[in-house]
Amino acid sequence: DQQVKQNSPSLSVQEGRISILNCDYTNSMFDYFLWYKKYPAEGPTFLISISSIKDKNEDGRFTVFLNKSAKHLSLHIVPSQPGDSAVYFCAASAEWPDSGSARQLTFGSGTQLTVLP
Amino acid sequence: SAVISQKPSRDICQRGTSLTIQCQVDSQVTMMFWYRQQPGQSLTLIATANQGSEATYESGFVIDKFPISRPNLTFSTLTVSNMSPEDSSIYLCSVRGAVLNTEAFFGQGTRLTVV
């Protein structure tokens, strides 16, 4: 049972245009969401996050939108650049049962973004 | 942020053998995490390694198959035992950042192929 779903395994976008990556979740206990970017032969790197008390968070070319009622979040990249070509993972966080420290992280299966020059 | 060095970066192993993956962090951390990413799949948490205590394994993962060591606050190892082709995956170690103890930093991963 996938609690975090990225239904598009791949996305191709022209350089300079907007890239929109989508993520859906089912667990209403998730209250913090993150996006990671992964290049081949490297580990995922943190990109941007959003708390459930917000509906938008922006950092330069990257904006994450959260629609709690729809249990949906999206990552917008504007303008897209060839260097953005990577796999993007959505992750959701909830309090870890019986733990006062680190929180549980659940990842989606990733979307391969290709930005065409 | 944390810098995590993981090795080996890749290996090809014979079925029935074992491989130990090492993870070194540039700062002391309480919890270290081991993930597996099977082809086309999400990152799945294998276990949480706490210094001074036994690792905590997620459903579907057992200590006999994935023994973990955590001898100090900067180092951990994951062993993939008695390997089969189904164990072919990318294995990643991870630590958490300070923000809600959620933001994860990852090593570069170990790409394991079992033949």
A97 preceded by a cis bond (ω within 30 of 0): no
Average pLDDT, chain A: 91
Place of tokens 């070194």: B24
Q: Closest Cα of chain B to A2: distance in Å?
A: 9
**Residue A88: closest CA among chain B residues belongs to which residue?**
B42
Cβ distance A101 to B6 less than 8 Å, yes or no, reads no
Percent pLDDT > 90 in chain B is 76
Give the number of A-B residue pairs with CB atoms closer than 8 Å: 65
The per-residue pLDDT for range B9-32, each reduced to its tens digit, is 999 999 999 999 999 999 988 889
- What is d(CA B40, CA A109) in angstroms, rounded to the nearest whole number? 7
Mutation pick from B10, B103, B105, B110 vs chain A, by most beta carbons of A within 10 Å, is B103
Which positions in chain B touch A89 (Cβ < 8 Å)? 42-43
Cβ distance A89 to B43 less than 8 Å, yes or no, reads yes
Beta carbons within 8 Å of A88's beta carbon, 6+ residues apart: A6, A21, A35, A36, A37, A38, A47, A75, A110, A111, A113
Q: Closest Cα of chain B to A30: distance in Å?
A: 12
Neighbours of A58 (CB within 10 A): 12
Which positions in chain B touch A9 (Cβ < 8 Å)? 40
- pLDDT for A110 equals 95
The per-residue pLDDT for range A75-106, each reduced to its tens digit, is 999 999 999 999 999 999 886 555 555 677 89
- pLDDT for B53 equals 81
The per-residue pLDDT for range A56-77, each reduced to its tens digit, is 999 999 999 999 999 999 999 9
